[in-house]
């Protein structure tokens, strides 16, 4: 699959997913439209090609150099073009949060999907069961309770020669999300898996991203991940991984991949090898907020820093007060759950020159309006364009069906589609 290739998009469209038929991706690219020239309807979210390429090189290079696998969390983008690019860069799998997402990734052609959640609904388990007989596709999910194991086992029914479903035991922390909280819960859940002819315990999983990223948070994360490693070590010594050839130890989140790597590279003394699987998702576009503050790349890790790839562009539609301007993008267009957008660029009407947006502060969003407080020394007029960075990519992608990919001069070079 080629990033942005229309043929691939048509192939996926024929799988039965909805699409915007009137949009001709090839025409958009052939016309050499440029965001700064006013060729696109604003507001418009764009992805910078140079940043995407850089981030893939940094993160996948880090994993390769250190012997880790990566299963990027696909919920960040839900984009076939971006998922294809992540696999081309060496992803071991793609991570899904729900079975619905897993179905979409399966249709994209993903060879392996890790559902980083417990699956308990009958129809979802039925779909998983139907995938198990395909030798070219692998699917995994999580368990954290005796009840959950029983539901999976019962709903899968008779195996009739079908391979076992690989499951990862999830560990959680108090006041965290899902996952076993005690040694007793771990023991009971693993014992229930051992009774099943449909399931195979394939590893141990956790999500550490609920912890705040400060010095105290790092200590909490390190302690929690050490528990994950020691649990895997103990279960291996007890023979609980007898149905698999390797043991998966996985954690997720884009804030602590270095802590995951450090915690799981202790000396493994088991008979079976381990596969360390990182599940970071937001690295692909990074951002100008949450992950700019939290990412270890270029800070705690001796690598290049990641580059923010997402920008929202809007036009100044009103200057009703001396220090106030209104843009034509809002909550319907851009992420706002962590931080409000950060003004980056001003493009004055009649010119393509970009000026740094120093002195502009986006302080409020309505559905379709952004409120900007303006330093009196800054020139900003009706008809000018403003480009802003976003915080938290997961809640930016889901607002757009197609997103242009632009060169550094903002000429559209490709398009990605999303399937939320």
Name the residue ranges covered by the structural domains of the chain. Answer: 6-48+306-417, 111-280
Place of tokens 């194991």: 149
Cβ within 8 Å of residue 181, ≥6 positions away: 172, 173, 174
Q: Does domain 6-48+306-417 have CATH number 2.40.37.20?
A: yes
pLDDT for 111-130, tens place per residue?
999 999 999 999 999 999 99
Pick the CATH number of 111-280 from 3.40.50.740, 3.20.20.10, 3.40.50.2000, 3.50.30.30: 3.20.20.10
Q: ∠ at Cα 329 (327, 334), nearest 5°?
A: 140
| Residue 7 in this model has a pLDDT that exceeds 50 | no
Is 139:116 a contact under the CB 8 Å cutoff? no
pLDDT for 370-403, tens place per residue?
999 999 889 999 999 999 999 999 999 999 999 9
Task: Calculate the alpha carbon distances from 209 to 186, 254, 291 in Å.
Answer: 21, 8, 12
Is 295:25 a contact under the CB 8 Å cutoff? no
Q: Quick one: pLDDT band at residue 10, thresholds 50, 70, 90? A: very low
| Residue 76 in this model has a pLDDT that exceeds 70 | yes
| Residue 366 in this model has a pLDDT that exceeds 70 | yes
Q: Quick one: pLDDT band at residue 175, thresholds 50, 70, 90? A: confident
| Residue 9 in this model has a pLDDT that exceeds 50 | no
Average pLDDT on 50-66 reads 96
Provide the mean pLDDT of the chain: 90
pLDDT of residue 24: 64
Which pTM was predicted?
0.91
Cβ atoms within 10 Å, residue 216? 10
Cβ atoms within 10 Å, residue 246? 11
Task: Kindly state the tokens that stand for 24.
Answer: 């001709």
């Amino acid at each position: 699959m080629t990033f942005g290739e229309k043929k691939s998009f048509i192939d996926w469209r024929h799988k039965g997913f909805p699409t915007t038929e009137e949009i001709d991706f090839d025409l958009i690219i052939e016309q050499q439209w440029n965001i700064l020239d006013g060729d696109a309807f604003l507001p418009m979210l764009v992805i910078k090609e140079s940043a995407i390429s850089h981030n893939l090189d940094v993160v996948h290079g880090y994993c390769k150099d250190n012997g880790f696998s990566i299963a990027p969390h696909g919920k960040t983008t839900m984009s076939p073009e971006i998922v294809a690019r992540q696999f081309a860069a060496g992803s071991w799998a793609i991570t899904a949060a729900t079975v619905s997402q897993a179905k979409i990734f399966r249709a994209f052609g993903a060879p392996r999907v890790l559902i980083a959640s417990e699956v308990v609904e009958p129809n979802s388990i039925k779909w998983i069961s139907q995938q198990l007989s395909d030798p070219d596709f692998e699917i995994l999910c999580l368990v954290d309770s005796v009840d959950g194991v029983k539901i999976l086992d019962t709903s899968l029914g008779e195996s009739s020669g079908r391979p076992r479903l690989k499951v990862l035991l999830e560990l959680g922390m108090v006041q965290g999300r899902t996952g076993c909280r005690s040694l007793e819960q771990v023991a009971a859940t693993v014992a229930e898996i051992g009774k099943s002819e449909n399931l195979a315990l394939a590893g141990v999983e956790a999500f550490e991203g609920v912890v705040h990223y400060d010095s105290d948070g790092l200590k909490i994360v390190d302690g929690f991940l050490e528990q994950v490693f020691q649990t895997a070590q103990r279960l291996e010594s007890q023979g609980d991984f007898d149905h698999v050839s390797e043991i998966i130890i996985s954690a997720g989140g884009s804030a602590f991949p270095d802590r995951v790597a450090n915690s799981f590279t202790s000396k493994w003394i088991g008979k079976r090898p381990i596969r360390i699987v990182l599940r970071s998702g937001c690295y692909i576009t990074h951002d100008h907020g949450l992950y700019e503050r939290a990412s270890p790349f270029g800070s705690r890790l001796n690598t290049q820093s990641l580059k923010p790839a997402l920008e929202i562009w809007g036009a100044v539609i009103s200057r009703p007060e001396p220090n106030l301007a209104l843009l034509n993008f809002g909550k319907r267009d851009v992420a706002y759950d962590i931080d409000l957008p950060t003004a980056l660029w001003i493009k004055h009407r009649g010119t393509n020159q970009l000026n740094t947006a120093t002195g502009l502060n986006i302080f409020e969003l309505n559905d379709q309006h952004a409120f900007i407080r303006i330093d009196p020394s800054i020139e900003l007029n009706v008809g000018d364009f403003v480009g802003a960075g976003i915080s938290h990519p997961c809640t930016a992608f889901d607002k757009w069906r197609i997103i242009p990919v632009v060169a550094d001069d903002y000429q559209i070079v490709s398009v990605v589609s999303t399937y939320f």
